[in-house]
């Protein structure tokens, strides 16, 4: 099963490097890290990112960076927030499409599961997708198109 977050929020190698640089320079400007530490982090990111060959690997790469460089934890939060917003948009559209179909019980169930997710991060997106796959894919395609339309 493909990672919906990767599909909706594909992060490029360049974007990872730019975000790392932004966070590192900010910390250096605030005297939280030394220029030497900044150079160490950015050299590692630059040299390692070239080995990444797809969006899934890019996600795995940026998620693993804070283990080696805790200074980059805010960068991961930035990407996770973007991904979460896009998944929320899919779920909102999905509920809308299910309601258009007249299935109020399913829409209510989905909303309950989404609220549970936001309160404790414990729902499975795949279970929701199975409830009404056609409408779910329509919602994903709509958000994907939104992503395509906003690319520079």
Indicate the pLDDT class of residue 44, thresholds 50, 70 and 90: very high
* Position 71 pLDDT exceeds 90: yes
Residue 5, pLDDT score: 77
Q: C-alpha distances in angstroms, 78 versus 3, 35, 152? A: 18, 23, 19
pLDDT digits (tens, 9 = 90+) for 90-137: 888 888 888 888 888 888 887 887 777 666 555 566 777 777 778 878
User: pTM for the complete prediction?
Assistant: 0.74
CB-based contact 131:109 (threshold 8 Å): yes
Is the Cα dihedral 14, 16, 3, 86 positive or negative?
A: negative
Which of 33, 25, 52, 149 minimizes the C-alpha distance to 16?
52
Output the pLDDT for position 120. Answer: 58
* Closest CA relative to residue 103, chosen from 137, 62, 69, 135: 135
Reported as a single tens digit per residue, the pLDDT across 139-148 is 878 887 776 6
Are 94 and 136 contacting, i.e. CB atoms less than 8 angstroms apart? yes
């Amino acid at each position: 099963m493909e990672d919906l977050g990767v599909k909706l929020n594909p992060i490029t190698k360049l974007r990872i490097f730019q975000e790392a640089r932004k966070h590192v320079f900010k910390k250096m400007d605030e005297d939280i890290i030394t220029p030497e530490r900044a150079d160490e982090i950015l050299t590692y990111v630059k040299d390692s990112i070239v080995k990444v060959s797809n969006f899934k690997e890019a996600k795995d790469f940026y998620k693993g960076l804070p283990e080696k460089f805790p200074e980059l934890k805010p960068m991961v939060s930035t990407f996770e927030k973007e991904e979460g917003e896009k998944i929320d948009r899919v779920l909102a559209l999905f509920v809308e499409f299910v309601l258009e179909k007249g299935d109020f019980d399913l829409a209510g169930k989905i909303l309950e599961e989404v609220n549970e997710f936001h309160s404790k991060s414990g729902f499975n997106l795949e279970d929701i997708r199975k409830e009404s796959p056609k409408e779910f894919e329509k919602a994903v395609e709509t958000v994907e198109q939104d992503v395509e339309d906003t690319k520079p």
